[in-house]
Amino acid sequence: MNITDLKPALVWRYFHEITQVPRPSKKEEKILAYLKKFAEDRKLDYSQDEAGNIVIRKAATPGYENLKTVILQSHVDMVCEKNNDTVHNFDTDPIRTVIDGEWVRAEGTTLGADNGIGVAAELALLDDNSLEHGPIECLFTVDEETGLTGAMNLAPGFIKGTILLNLDSEDEAKCLSVVLVVWVLLQLSTIPQRLHLPTTSMAKSM
Q: How far apart are CA 160 and CA 148, in angstroms?
A: 21
Strands 70-75 and 136-141: parallel
Q: How far apart are CA 87 and CA 99, in angstroms?
A: 20
Q: How far apart are CA 101 and CA 41, in angstroms?
A: 35
What single string gives the DSSP state of each residue in 109-128? B---HHHHHHHHHHHHHHH-
Strands 163-166 and 70-75: parallel
Q: How far apart are CA 42 and CA 20, in angstroms?
A: 20
| Active site residues per annotation | 77, 144
